[in-house]
Structure 1
Amino acid sequence: MKTNTKSFIAGLLTATASSLCCITPVLAFLGGASGLVSSFYWIEPFRPYLIGMTVLVFAFAWYQKLRLKTKPECHCESDNKKSFLQSTAFLSIVTALAALLIAFPYYASAFYPEAAQPKVVINDKSNIKQATFTIKGMTCEGCTEHVNSEIAKVRGVINYQTSFDNANSVVTFDNSKTSAAIVATAINSTGYKVVSQTVNNH
């Protein structure tokens, strides 16, 4: 039982660690501690290895559970009823939980509210600017939703498109109502960091 318990704990820890870079932003967003969200972005390159470790741990646990057991060394083992923690049902639950943790980056965006579409009255088209912000720390679609939710709050923003694949956000705004610096501040408030920006006429 001790071996099984250690396997379960190890599997859940590696499964959690593999998606910690995306779990932390959601927890921080829900808890209002946005400054912490990029703390674990460095884990992302290790994600494939952590997933591999999780698979190996649970493969071993299932092997231990399903293999043909030899005759018990003492009758006390067979006489005592196995606890739920030793059951196949419990292992199934823990395995399913680990799978949900591993898959978290693919559904993390569901935890963020849909960003409101900006409504800006354009009086002078010459004031329309487009800025590209290079952002450090984004690792999944959930991260882009977090960034978008803050950009959408900035008065004067007309349109935005954030991509974690490109590690940037392209924002169109009315320069008479806001500025690239204000948009950058909004992005930085999420915990991710703007490392560079370029501004052009739209």
Structure 2
Amino acid sequence: MKKSLLTSGLLTAIVSSLCCITPVVAVVVGASGIASTFSWLEPARPYFITFTILTLGFAWYQILKPKKEADCYCETPARPKLIETKTFLSILTAFAMLILAFPSYSHMFYPKTGSQTELVDNENLQTVEFSINGMTCASCEEHVNHEVNKLSGIISSTTSYDRGNSVIEFDSLKTNVSEIETAINRTGYEVTDRKEK
């Protein structure tokens, strides 16, 4: 089994989820603007996943196929190198599968922002819907919600990458539409339109 086969399988798994890993890293390091850096990779994700599965499948085939009997009675090494063992390939496969599934559980890595349960006068309550470009997974949704909820006066924020929007309910005495738009744009995703309700 070649090192390049394992390396390419692992790298492809990482690249396939890079668009969803980056927003989490951005929140952790405090660099929100880099969140959308790899969103252009999302359309190619199915190809990366397929390549990863085929590469690891071939590696498993190589390690599990029956060994040929030696033609000579030469001395063979008693223990294979670690990289040539089923244990190493099992660990690598498990790690690759965790990385491939990252978009489905990435939301768990976002810090919870405290909900603001202040009483708001109905005449100060305002709702706005932003159309957002560049979101590709649940991690993107959480990143937008995280940034918006840092603002004072946010009552609720519901973001959907499927619909490409975010609906924000807020107290107009404590924040305004342009501050919210700035917070969303700070994530690296782009607000393309807004509708005040």
- The verdict on a shared fold, with TM-score over 0.5 as the criterion, is yes
Aligned to 1:114: 112
Aligned to 1:82: 80
* RMSD, aligned α-carbons: 1.7
Aligned to 2:13: 15
Which runs of 5 or more residues in structure 1 are unaligned? none
Q: Does 1:148 align with 2:145?
A: yes
C-alpha contact (below 8 Å) 1:137/1:192 kept by paired residues: yes
C-alpha contact (below 8 Å) 1:120/1:157 kept by paired residues: no
The share of aligned pairs that are identical, in percent, is 46
Q: Deviations over 1:100-142 (max 9, x none)?
A: 110011111111012221233323x233221101112222212
Shift of 1:149: 1.4
Of 181, 186, 190, the match for 1:189: 186
Give the SS at the match of 1:171.
strand
Aligned to 1:38: 36
Aligned to 2:125: 128
Moved more, 189-198 or 98-107: 189-198
Aligned to 1:59: 57
CA distance in 1, matches of 2:97, 2:75: 32
Aligned to 1:70: 68
Which runs of 5 or more residues in structure 2 are unaligned? none
Shift of 1:70: 1.4
Normalising to structure 1: TM-score of the pair? 0.90
Shift of 1:75: 5.6
CA distance in 2, matches of 1:77, 1:17: 42
Q: Does 1:91 align with 2:93?
A: no
C-alpha contact (below 8 Å) 1:163/1:169 kept by paired residues: yes
Shift of 1:71: 2.6
The residue type paired with residue 57 of structure 1 is T
The residue type paired with residue 48 of structure 1 is P
